[in-house]
Chain A
Amino acid sequence: MSLFGPLWLSAQLALITTIILVIIGAPVAWWLSQTSSRVKPVVQAVVAMPIVLPPTVLGFYLLILLGPHGAVGSWWVQMTGSALTFSFTGLVIASCIYSLPFAVQPMQNAFESLPKKYLERAWTLGASRLDAFFSIAVPLSVRGFVSGIVLSFAHTLGEFGVVLMVGGNIPGETRVVSIAIYDHVETLNYAAAHRMSLVLVAFAFVVLAAMFVINRRWSER
């Protein structure tokens, strides 16, 4: 059993999930930061739910939803001929939902702390709402984006319960690193479990340390 197969699969999953989450999460975070709509608390609660729900509960419902008889899953089977459950694509969808709050909340915090005066000035200087978002709000919220990217990447890398429920344990398709480690421990192959775990520990440390160093540099600027 190779050491890098599951690691590589996890890295791919985390990378794709993070890219999707930045693209989907940024507009959601922006809307939440600017709106005074009455449905805002509802949307906020839905976005935050994966933080408090047990992964098995989330995974259970996703399994039903994405399964060949579920609302999304049956449609997918019609469109593509293959099932979403126990596939890499299904894992990406599940991860996006599972990690959504970790992408949205840091970006939303950054957008909310952006002084309104910058946007108002940008509008008076001829920038449309969309233009001001990309030319002012995004560059001034880089820290929120970095936090959101790091957190959703790391969180996707570490997910276990949802993956087990939705993806199972198919080598090269859904056998991500956390599942592989669990397998190794089950079969009492502690040496292999150690090797993978140490890679993850080192990765988590390096990424978080790098993020804090970058944050400190910026706050000094």
Chain B
Amino acid sequence: MIHLRHRLPKGDFVLDVDVEVPDTGITGVFGESGSGKSTLLRCIAGLEGGSGLPVNKRNIGYVFQDPALFPHLTVRGNIAYGAQRATTRRIDSAPVVEMLGLGNLLDRRPNSLSGGEAQRVAIAAALLRSPDLVLMDEPLASLDRRRKDDLLPYFDRLHDELSVPVIYVSHDIEEISRLCDHLVLLEDGKVAASGNLFDVVSRVDVPVLSGRNAGVVLWANPVDQEDGLTKFDFGDGDIWAPGEFEVGGSPLRLRIAASDVSITRDRPTATTILNVLRATIEEVHAVDAATALVRLGIGNQSLLARVTNRSVRRLDLQPGERVFVQVKSVTVRH
């Protein structure tokens, strides 16, 4: 485990974090803007606060939102910068260059790269310093949708192939749900929740994860394919999602947003919704005057549904009751 303990007053704002995160995999740090996510990373790196070990002695890799490649060096020079200063060389250049698809860019100048290419170079530079911990501060936030989609598969590979722990800051719950294994929620400089990603996102009582950020993540195996859809088995049920995924392939992550889940008392007969599942109400939590989050158990898995308080009253939804849920849309991590 990595113990993060940081306290930094900044005017009205106070960052006060004391939390343990795993020393493997990717830990997401999620929160609204102004919650102190970036400040936390800067504290870990030693860029904030001005005390303790100097930045260059901490052996961390830092990927900033702005790649900020050194304009006077080529891509090759930029990648080598950290490696030349590494105290131990545990990570070799060739596999990283290959993993991030930089082979054809090595002699280019930073100002001739696209935003996504530049960010890949910045990641390679950070990895080749052979850090004990990699910090990523919204590395996708400055990219447009298409570039983001181009870059995400490289992050998937990082997640699958990298042995260094990563702390990944983002305000995009989709990114976090796709990449992270562990989740720390920050609210106004404090830790609101921390734990396994799958557990934390299925909580209904964390304000930052209500509203449009509410939704669960399931691990599921692609088991069948039909009409351009793939059937996923998540252990306690099946779910169909658009797209053709290799049947029998490795398990994938499904994200189901709470706003895409609705509840009915009776089994819907004539509906355009493909996925209708039997579930047990576990918890009903009023988020604000109008809306509520309902956690629904399906075997050992949970779904969240975002409904109105009026519907909760009208259907008289109580914990322990059996209902049907309709899932309108599923996001699959490819």
What size tier do the contact residues of chain B reach?
20 to 34
Return B129 CB to nearest CB of chain A, in Å: 5
Cα–Cα, bound, A129→B56 (Å): 8
**Cβ of A123 and Cβ of B47 under 8 Å apart?**
yes
Confirm or deny: B19 has a beta carbon within 8 angstroms of a beta carbon on chain A: no
Query: Closest chain A residue to B55 by CB distance?
Result: A123
- Checking A117, A129, A131 against B66 with a beta-carbon cut-off of 8 angstroms, the contacting residue is A117
**Cβ of A118 and Cβ of B85 under 8 Å apart?**
no
Confirm or deny: B52 has a beta carbon within 8 angstroms of a beta carbon on chain A: no
* With A117-B64, A117-B66: A126-B72 Cβ-Cβ less than 8 Å: no
Bitwise interface map of B from 62 to 93 toward A, beta carbon under 8 Å scored 1, else 0: 10101010111000000001100111000000
Cα–Cα, bound, A139→B64 (Å): 22
Chain A: residues with Cβ within 8 Å of the partner, total of 18
Confirm or deny: B45 has a beta carbon within 8 angstroms of a beta carbon on chain A: yes
Confirm or deny: A194 has a beta carbon within 8 angstroms of a beta carbon on chain B: no
Confirm or deny: B189 has a beta carbon within 8 angstroms of a beta carbon on chain A: no
**Cβ of A118 and Cβ of B68 under 8 Å apart?**
yes
**Cβ of B54 and Cβ of A128 under 8 Å apart?**
yes
Confirm or deny: B185 has a beta carbon within 8 angstroms of a beta carbon on chain A: no
* With A120-B47, A121-B62: A126-B68 Cβ-Cβ less than 8 Å: no
Which of B59, B68, B129 has the most chain A CB atoms inside 10 A of its CB?
Answer: B68
Return A120 CB to nearest CB of chain B, in Å: 6
Cα–Cα, bound, A120→B85 (Å): 15
Return A116 CB to nearest CB of chain B, in Å: 9
Cα–Cα, bound, A125→B60 (Å): 8
Confirm or deny: A115 has a beta carbon within 8 angstroms of a beta carbon on chain B: yes
Return A212 CB to nearest CB of chain B, in Å: 21
**Cβ of A126 and Cβ of B85 under 8 Å apart?**
yes
* With A117-B66, A120-B47, A131-B85: A125-B72 Cβ-Cβ less than 8 Å: no
Cα–Cα, bound, A135→B77 (Å): 11
Return B71 CB to nearest CB of chain A, in Å: 7
Which of A117, A124, A131 has the most chain B CB atoms inside 10 A of its CB?
Answer: A124
For B129, the chain A residues whose CB sits under 8 A away are: 125-126
**Cβ of A123 and Cβ of B68 under 8 Å apart?**
no
For A123, the chain B residues whose CB sits under 8 A away are: 47, 54-56
Q: A-side binding surface: helix, strand, loop or mixed?
A: helix
**Cβ of B55 and Cβ of A124 under 8 Å apart?**
yes
Confirm or deny: B125 has a beta carbon within 8 angstroms of a beta carbon on chain A: yes
Confirm or deny: A127 has a beta carbon within 8 angstroms of a beta carbon on chain B: yes
* With A124-B61, A124-B62, A128-B54: A139-B72 Cβ-Cβ less than 8 Å: yes
Bitwise interface map of A from 103 to 118 toward B, beta carbon under 8 Å scored 1, else 0: 0000000000001011
**Cβ of A124 and Cβ of B126 under 8 Å apart?**
yes
Confirm or deny: A136 has a beta carbon within 8 angstroms of a beta carbon on chain B: yes
Confirm or deny: A204 has a beta carbon within 8 angstroms of a beta carbon on chain B: no
- Checking B47, B64, B71, B86 against A126 with a beta-carbon cut-off of 8 angstroms, the contacting residue is B86
Query: Closest chain B residue to A120 by CB distance?
Result: B47
Return A102 CB to nearest CB of chain B, in Å: 25
Confirm or deny: A192 has a beta carbon within 8 angstroms of a beta carbon on chain B: no
Cα–Cα, bound, A151→B59 (Å): 42
For B86, the chain A residues whose CB sits under 8 A away are: 126
Query: Closest chain B residue to A117 by CB distance?
Result: B68
**Cβ of A121 and Cβ of B47 under 8 Å apart?**
no
Query: Closest chain B residue to A135 by CB distance?
Result: B81
Which of B60, B72, B87 has the most chain A CB atoms inside 10 A of its CB?
Answer: B72
Return A142 CB to nearest CB of chain B, in Å: 8
**Cβ of A136 and Cβ of B70 under 8 Å apart?**
yes
Q: Could you show 26 A-B contacts with beta carbons less than 8 Å apart?
A: A118-B68, A118-B70, A121-B62, A121-B70, A121-B122, A123-B54, A124-B45, A124-B47, A124-B55, A124-B56, A124-B61, A125-B61, A125-B85, A125-B125, A125-B126, A125-B129, A126-B82, A126-B85, A126-B86, A127-B56, A127-B85, A128-B54, A129-B54, A136-B70, A140-B70, A140-B72
Given contacts A125-B85, A125-B126, 14 further A-B contacts (CB under 8 A): A120-B62, A121-B64, A122-B70, A124-B47, A124-B55, A124-B60, A124-B62, A124-B126, A125-B56, A125-B81, A126-B59, A126-B86, A128-B56, A136-B70
